[in-house]
Structures are given as C-alpha cells and as structure tokens.
Amino acid sequence: MKILVINAGSSSLKYQLIDMKNELVLAKGIAERIGMDQSLIKHKSVGKDKFEFKTIIKTHLDALKLVLDALTSSVHGVIADMSEVSAVGHRVAHGGETFSMGTLINDKVLKVIHDNIVLAPLHNPANIMGIEACMRIMPNTPMVAVFDTAFHQSMPKESFMYALPYEYYEKYGIRRYGFHGTSHKYVAQRAAFLIGKDISSLNIISCHLGNGASIAAVKTGKSIDTSMGFTPLEGLPMGTRCGSIDPAIVSFLIEKENFDTKQINNVLNKSSGMLGVSGISGDFRDLEAAAALDNKRAKLAIEMFSYSIKKYIGAYSAALGGVDCLIFTAGIGENSLMVRKLSCCGLDFIGIKIDNEKNNSIDEILCNEGIISTSDSAVKVLVIPTNEELMIARETAALI
C-alpha cells in the first residue's frame, strides 16, 4: 500500500510518498513560493537524482499537478500512475475539540476544519487548499486528515482549562489545545519500542524543540498535559515567539507603545523569543556560533531556553507521578548537545543523568537516534528524530 502525505502551508506544499510495506519513503519534495514569483518544485525519488524546477505555480492545485507529474514521470518518478496511491494523508493544524484521532475526510469533516479556521487562521485555510486540490485531482482516492491537536485531546480538564471566566470557554472555545501532537505521539511510541517496553507502562516527557517548541507529558501513551496552549505561542520561549509571559505585559505594552492588536501580535510572535533576547537571530545555529564567540545575549537566550525546558521537565515529572523516559526531538532537540546538556543538568534528583560522551556523539554514531543517559540513570533519556509524515501515513493506512 502506498500513501501520499501532504503538508500544505500558505505558500508551500510538502509531500512524501511512502510504501507502507516497509515504510520506505519512495519520493519526497516541496513546492515553494506558491502564488509568488520564482516559485519552484524540489523533488527527490529513492535511488534517483534530486531535481529542481522553476515554474509558475499560482495555486495549490497547480502545485499538486506538478507533484503528481513528478511522481509519475518516466525520469524522476516512482509510480506508473496515481491509481497506485491507496490514500492521501493530510496534515491539518487544528481539529478543535472534535477530533481526537485522524479521520476520513468527507463534507462534514471538511466543514469542521473550516469552522476551526477561527482557532488556526494561518494554518487551517492552507490545509483546506491542499485537501481540496487533492479531492479535485483524485476524486476517488480516500483522504484522511491527521490533526496536530488530536493527540492532546486526552488531556484532563484541569490541564486544559484556563482560569478565565468559564463562559469564554463555552462561547469561544478558549482552552489549551496543544500542538505538535503527531510528533509527540510518534517519538513516544518510538521511545517505547527502542527501550523494549509497552507504552502503556511508561511515563514519558517529550520535548519537541524546533523553531516552534513544545513539551508534552505522556502517560500510558496518552497526552495528559502540554506546554503550548490556545495557540502555539504559549510555553517555552521559541525562535521568535515569547512563550509564557505575564499576561499583564501585553496591556502594558499596548498602552506604552501605542500598539494595535496586529502590532502586539507581531512583537509576541515574530520579534520575541531567542531573536528578541539575543538581538542576533532566532536560529539556534547562529546563537550557538555567537555564544562560542562569547556573545552575552546569545548565551542568555540559550540559557533561558534550556532553563525553561528544565522547569517543564520538573513540572511534568510531578504531573506524571515520576518519569521513565525523556525524549529530545526536532531541529534543536536532535542536534543541540548544549541544550540537551543544560536542560538536564542538575536533574539527578529525579533520576535523569546524561552520559556526556553519548550526548556528544549521538549524531555521528547513531544517526541521531538512541539513548544518551548513563547506564545507571533511572530515567532513559533518548534522542529521536521526529517523523510526522510517517505517523500521518500510518494513521492513514490504519483508517482505510
């Protein structure tokens, strides 16, 4: 069975074609700058050369046609025609309170994704464009939506409610939803597999540390709490997002700087976080390079990020009633030995002990996957490359 995974953003469309027999990625790529000038498609098929092709891509439908051409091309392709694709799995940002798992897309499901635009105004419309393009070109192929929020729907009410007047939850759905659910679910399952335990017996803390970063507490395979909230702004400080701050700062800044809602949102989402603190960059590679040259604010940004992770590890150990596994994933989690080391430092009291040698060499020796804790560490600390596409493909295959 071959599954096409689609991740449609506002100006891009990423895709992977996965053969579920051996979970092999047959082809993957991205159509970029959709609706802009200089749009292009980058494509790579297994065992074949990469290719890049600049062309006009006005809409997601145009992009998808190019993707299908690439997949079936006699030179770059991997399938003879699209009938070989059993189903399409779509990454969808927000499923609100309706979806706690992936679901087959029909008119009703599409309407709920539409209704949730209010909760994810940047992401859900792009996801819908991807779904509608696929439905037009492949009307007889089953489509599945896999939601970033779904995994966290198992949170109990005391985790997901905010202490605001209850009517705002009822009127506007203001509550913690959490994001990166597909990633947290994948790495939690993978960790259980790697340590040879049943996930139903484990308390897991999963740290997805990319440009956007979130931490999840996973008990018996289910999310019971997570750091992102009503939007992906809450929780850890991130590349350019402030993370959790005293909410009174918002009205204070609005008054002092005369900001309107758009301007204050821009400050909180785009010029805060690692970028705001360092004044250099929101990208961790730049920060580490600057910190190595003794840049004080770059060092401070890294320390703030790592300290915040440590606090969540402490809090979620308490929420879970102890922890068996701690996982680092995504760009920073998979690559920054400094962040892993700083955020675990001093946590021996809850049984977390990192082996410095393993932490330093995991990328070279184990292709970024494996255990980096000492053999006497009560908590297994793992680095696991996330694979949201594979998780989406697995859920899609299971559903059809």
Residues near ligand ADP (CB under 6 A): 210-212, 239, 283-285, 288, 330-332, 335-336
Say how many CA atoms lie within 13 Å of 116 toward its Cβ.
27
State the minimum distance, in angstroms, from the CB of residue 5 to ligand ADP.
15
| Cα separations in angstroms, 352 against 236, 302, 326, 348 | 20, 20, 8, 5
Query: Which residue, 19 or 286, is less far from ligand ADP as judged by CB?
Result: 286
Query: Which residue, 95 or 210, is less far from ligand ADP as judged by CB?
Result: 210
Query: Which residue, 14 or 152, is less far from ligand ADP as judged by CB?
Result: 14
State the minimum distance, in angstroms, from the CB of residue 288 to ligand ADP.
6
Query: Which residue, 224 or 309, is less far from ligand ADP as judged by CB?
Result: 309
* 246 given a catalytic annotation: no
Token readout for 222 is 């289910």
Catalytic residue among 62, 148, 225, 324: 148
Distance separating alpha carbons of residues 376 and 178, to the nearest angstrom:
33
Q: Assign residue 101 a region: left if phi > 0, alpha if psi is -120 to 50, beta otherwise?
A: beta
Query: Do residues 207 and 325 make contact, with C-beta atoms less than 8 angstroms apart?
Result: no
State the minimum distance, in angstroms, from the CB of residue 13 to ligand ADP.
16
Query: Which residue, 103 or 231, is less far from ligand ADP as judged by CB?
Result: 231
State the minimum distance, in angstroms, from the CB of residue 208 to ligand ADP.
8
State the minimum distance, in angstroms, from the CB of residue 384 to ligand ADP.
13
State the minimum distance, in angstroms, from the CB of residue 239 to ligand ADP.
6
Residues 243, 248, 249, CA angle at the centre, nearest 5°?
60
Grouping H, G, I as helix, E, B as strand and the rest as coil, residue 266 is helix
Amino acid at position 379, single letter: V
Say how many CA atoms lie within 13 Å of 204 toward its Cβ.
31
Query: Scanning the structure block, which residue is given the tokens 């040879």?
Result: 196
State the minimum distance, in angstroms, from the CB of residue 351 to ligand ADP.
27
Residue 387: how many other CB atoms lie within 10 Å: 20
Distance separating alpha carbons of residues 346 and 385, to the nearest angstrom:
25
Query: Which residue, 313 or 362, is less far from ligand ADP as judged by CB?
Result: 362
**Would the CA dihedral through 155, 218, 367, 18 be positive or negative?**
negative
Query: Do residues 120 and 173 make contact, with C-beta atoms less than 8 angstroms apart?
Result: no
Amino acid at position 50, single letter: K
The H or E element that residue 290 is part of is helix 284-292
If you count them, how many residues does the chain have?
400
Residue 182: how many other CB atoms lie within 10 Å: 26
Distance separating alpha carbons of residues 135 and 311, to the nearest angstrom:
45
Query: Which residue, 32 or 62, is less far from ligand ADP as judged by CB?
Result: 32
Q: Which is nearest to 75 in space by CA: 50, 105, 102?
A: 50
State the minimum distance, in angstroms, from the CB of residue 285 to ligand ADP.
4
Chain position whose Cβ is nearest to ligand ADP: 331
Distance separating alpha carbons of residues 399 and 20, to the nearest angstrom:
13
> Across-strand partners of 89?
5, 144
Query: Which residue, 14 or 175, is less far from ligand ADP as judged by CB?
Result: 14
**Helices 248-257/261-270 angle, 10° precision:** 120
> What residues act catalytically?
148
